[in-house]
Amino acid sequence: MSIADFFLITQAIFLVYFILLHGSYFSLNVLSIISIWNYMQERSISGLPNTYTGLEIPVSIIAPAYNEEATITNSIKALLNLNYPDFEVIVVNDGSSDSTMQVLINEFDLIIFPEAYLSGLPTQKIRQVYISKKFPSLRVLDKDNGGKADALNAGINVSRFSLFCAVDADSIIQTNSLEKIVQPFLEEPTTVAVGGTVRIANGCSVRNGFLVKAGLPTNLLALFQVAEYLRGFLFGRLGWSPLNALLIISGAFGVFHKETVVSVGGYLTNTIGEDMELIARLHRLLRARNVPYKISFVPDPICWTEAPEDLKTLRNQRIRWQRGLSESLAKNISLLFGKNSGAVGWLAMPFMLVFEWFGPIIELLGITLVIIGYYAGYLSAEVTIIFFTVAIGFGVLLSVVAVLLEEMSFHIYPKLRYIFILLLVAILENFGYRQLNSVWRLIATYQWAMGHKASWGEMKRSASWTEQE
């Protein structure tokens, strides 16, 4: 086989791969559009003034916090101001090295409370339990550092209600979001987990826990992430939900049936992607036990979180996400094509393995070989153009459609110029930003394969979107 034949064959293989990739995404898009149409129809019918029925399920909101002094006050105020009849807020200070604990004590007038609780899940030592004299529904756990998963397990042990909501302490939940994300538990008794939408808070205005204005960031990296999040949540997760094949519920915002989570062992502390791993394990173990269950995604409940605005922080985040994906798939690989594994084992797991886990290798290798083949004279300009049209052009189309779908459905960004900016960003992110993410994901996959120790890395927070009165 000549070198020219090698380049032609490999280019054809890569082309088929990208066609399958974008064909899969297109199928998810169709499912997402159908789902969001049905959801909007139901919402328009039920869009009457809020009246509580007394059937709402009490919820324990658990917010792990580590070095969150810049954003913790606004985030906790947002939780306390949620529009829901019966809930408690449990903040878990996971051995912060900054003044997070002191900020909490001062802002919420905390006092030590000698509370007894069941330790259903093993955790690092809890130093003190505090209650707030200002807000009876607020408790704060001060514990030794054990990581986010350990902090969540500690919160689960102390929680009083049958549902718990896991949120990030640096995020803001809209006031009506808890009411909306709990709905699937009322409509389908076998529901064990529900995820909501996460959006970028950079460029928004939050005052004393309330989102007062939705806006766009001026930082280009954060802007790219706005378009990226729209595509990931509106299409990626909404598409899998009707098939009961959702493999990810963001650690920033999800509600769970506590007894079920405890029965599968809670959050694992030896993985850096505890949120995805828990969902994959719920699928695997509940199917193995032949227990009927439903894991859903609801697009309307929104959690706002700060996106990284510098390359180092973004790199740390994406390497952590890919390491979490690798660990979650490896720990639950028996779900793949397993007996009674349903759509999650026969569709979602193969998709994640081939397109999300192995994807960065194929994408970078394909682009590199095509460029080399073209400049070496082994590939014609026409063949090269066709390759990049499929590899990048369809990605642009998917990003643009995500922005348009957001505008047609939820219309979060009120100004027309925001939509034009997002459309432009949805195009630009496919030329360099996406490829850079693939490089980071490839590094993470290599680190995982070589057994390198995973770490969170430094996460800078500007908190420029928060205001205090």
Mean pLDDT is highest, among 109-118, 225-234, 403-412, 425-434, for: 425-434
Residues 210, 286 within the same domain: yes
User: Containing H/E element for 130?
Assistant: strand 126-132
> Is 255 domain-assigned?
yes
Residues 246, 293 within the same domain: yes
Domain boundary among 282, 303, 333: 333
What pLDDT digit, counting tens, does each position of 186-239 carry?
A: 999 999 999 998 989 898 887 766 778 888 999 999 999 998 888 887 777 888
> Is 216 domain-assigned?
yes
Strands 253-257 and 191-200: antiparallel
Residues 323, 369 within the same domain: no
CATH of the domain at 216: 3.90.550.10
Cβ neighbours, 10 Å, residue 23: 11
Reference 328, options 351, 358, 349; nearest CA is 349
What pLDDT digit, counting tens, does each position of 268-302 carry?
A: 998 888 999 999 999 999 999 999 999 999 988 88
Task: Round to whole Å and give the CA distance between 313 and 457.
Answer: 8
Residue 27: pLDDT band with limits 50, 70, 90: confident
Domain with 227, as residue range(s), is 57-333
pLDDT at residue number 302 = 87
pLDDT at residue number 316 = 93
Contacts for 14 with CB less than 8 Å, ≥ 6 apart: 362, 365, 366, 369, 370, 387, 391
pLDDT at residue number 53 = 58
DSSP 293: -
What pLDDT digit, counting tens, does each position of 333-346 carry?
A: 999 998 889 999 99
| Alpha-helical regions (H) of 135-192 | 148-158, 177-187
pLDDT of residue 241 exceeding 50: yes
> Do residues 121 and 157 lie in contact, with contact meaning Cβ atoms separated by under 8 Å?
yes
> Do residues 124 and 93 lie in contact, with contact meaning Cβ atoms separated by under 8 Å?
no
pLDDT of residue 136 exceeding 70: yes
Task: Round to whole Å and give the CA distance between 360 and 364.
Answer: 6
Q: What is the dihedral of CA 163, 330, 348, 291, to 10 degrees?
A: -40
Domains held by the chain: number: 2
> Is 47 domain-assigned?
no
B/e letters for 93-129, b = 16+ CB within 10 Å, e = fewer, are bbbbeeebbebbbeebebeeeeeeeeeebebbebeeb
> Do residues 302 and 180 lie in contact, with contact meaning Cβ atoms separated by under 8 Å?
no
pLDDT at residue number 49 = 47
pLDDT at residue number 256 = 98
Segment 96-124 mean pLDDT = 89
> Is 462 domain-assigned?
no
Residues 195, 285 within the same domain: yes
Q: Most distant CA pair in the chain: distance in Å? A: 78
Starting at the edge strand found earlier in the chain, the sheet holding 138-143 runs 110-112, 126-132, 138-143, 87-94, 59-65, 163-167, 253-257, 191-200, 294-305, 171-173
Residues 414, 304 within the same domain: no
Terminal Cα-to-Cα distance of the chain (whole angstroms) = 72
Segment 244-252 mean pLDDT = 92
> Is 28 domain-assigned?
no
User: Containing H/E element for 331?
Assistant: helix 311-331
Residues 75, 12 within the same domain: no
Contacts for 265 with CB less than 8 Å, ≥ 6 apart: 121, 281
For the record, the structure tokens of 424 come out as 């432009």
Residues 298, 205 within the same domain: yes
Residues 311, 440 within the same domain: no
Q: Annotate 343-365 with DSSP letters as a single string.
A: HIIIIIHHHIIIIIISHHHHHHH
Reference 28, options 243, 250, 228; nearest CA is 243
Residues 197, 279 within the same domain: yes
> Is 208 domain-assigned?
yes
What pLDDT digit, counting tens, does each position of 262-273 carry?
A: 999 999 998 888
> Is 30 domain-assigned?
no
For the record, the structure tokens of 327 come out as 């660990």
Residue 170: pLDDT band with limits 50, 70, 90: confident
Residues 323, 374 within the same domain: no
pTM, entire model: 0.90
Residues 177, 260 within the same domain: yes
Strands 110-112 and 126-132: antiparallel
Q: What is the dihedral of CA 69, 70, 76, 82, to 10 degrees?
A: -170
Residues 327, 367 within the same domain: no
Segment 352-368 mean pLDDT = 90
Provide the mean pLDDT of the chain.
88
3-state DSSP percent of the chain in helix, strand and coil, to 5: 50, 15, 30
Contacts for 252 with CB less than 8 Å, ≥ 6 apart: 167, 168, 171, 198, 303, 305
Task: Round to whole Å and give the CA distance between 365 and 359.
Answer: 10
Task: Round to whole Å and give the CA distance between 198 and 252.
Answer: 7
> Is 467 domain-assigned?
no
